[in-house]
Amino acid sequence: MIAGLLVCGGFAAALGGFSALALAMDRHHEDAYGRGSSPGRPRHWLQGAGALLLTLSLVSCLALQGGPVGVVTWFGILTASALGTVAISTWRPRFIGRCIAAAVVIAVPLITWGTLERYN
């Protein structure tokens, strides 16, 4: 059960991270919020949030599997979440902002609880 929590949390964090990085780009931001819009000042916050969520995803995989196997698991999760981000930004670009918020709400408690349970 703990493994499932960590994998789901890692996937949600990676999906939110890729979504934040995509929304920090001008083209994807225009797709989501209309022509002529730009991320402007929030660009750096989106890039930081994306990097932090991807790092959180790595932490969950390392807590689950350990060293080399955890990194390989992380690459698999990154691949699946990148495909999910491409699908969301292609078919429902306005949904990508909500995806980031949902990822934070889902991933942080799952990874925190799963990691604490794993090491206790």
- Note down pLDDT in tens along the chain; length 120 residues: 788 889 999 999 999 999 999 998 878 778 787 776 767 778 899 899 999 999 999 999 999 988 899 999 999 999 999 999 999 998 988 898 898 999 999 999 999 898 888 887
Question: What SS3 state is found at 101?
Answer: helix
Q: Quick one: pLDDT at residue 43?
A: 85
Distances (CA, A) of 39 to 24, 33, 45, 88, 102: 6, 10, 10, 18, 20
pTM above 0.85, yes or no: yes
Cα end-to-end span (Å), the chain:
15
